[in-house]
């Protein structure tokens, strides 16, 4: 993941690691940072509610993503 495809003159395709496109690398790092913070937040919510940890999850509804869904038993 995160590699870029590079085709050479002899038609070999190689996957290049980071450093090919600085803006792309920065975007991937920013996405990874946000995903990490979202995971940490979900863990903190799981610790505060009285429900099985795997029942507290992120869902997407319409165009809204990362909505936290709790079981009905949580009051």
Average pLDDT, the chain: 85
Answer for the pair 65, 72: CB distance below 8 angstroms, yes or no.
no
pLDDT of residue 4: 59
Range of the domain at 63: 22-69
Number of domains present in the structure of the chain: 1
Query: How many Å apart are CA 56 and CA 61, to the nearest integer?
Result: 16
Query: How many Å apart are CA 28 and CA 31, to the nearest integer?
Result: 5
The two tokens of residue 34 are: 């946000």
Flag whether 48 is in a domain: yes
Pick from 7-11, 31-35, 57-61, 68-72: least confident: 7-11
Q: Which DSSP letter does residue 54 get?
A: G
Write down the pTM of the prediction: 0.69
Flag whether 57 is in a domain: yes
The pLDDT of 5-26, averaged and rounded, is 71
Flag whether 58 is in a domain: yes
In percent, the amount of the chain with pLDDT more than 70 equals 77
Give 56's pLDDT tier (boundaries 50, 70, 90).
very high
């Amino acid at each position: 993941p995160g590699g870029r495809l590079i085709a050479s003159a002899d038609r070999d395709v190689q996957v290049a690691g980071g450093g090919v496109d600085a803006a792309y690398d920065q975007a991937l790092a920013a996405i990874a940072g946000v995903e990490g913070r979202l995971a940490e937040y979900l863990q903190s919510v799981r610790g505060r509610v009285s429900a099985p940890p795997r029942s507290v999850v992120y869902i997407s509804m319409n165009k809204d993503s990362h909505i936290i869904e709790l079981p009905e038993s949580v009051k």
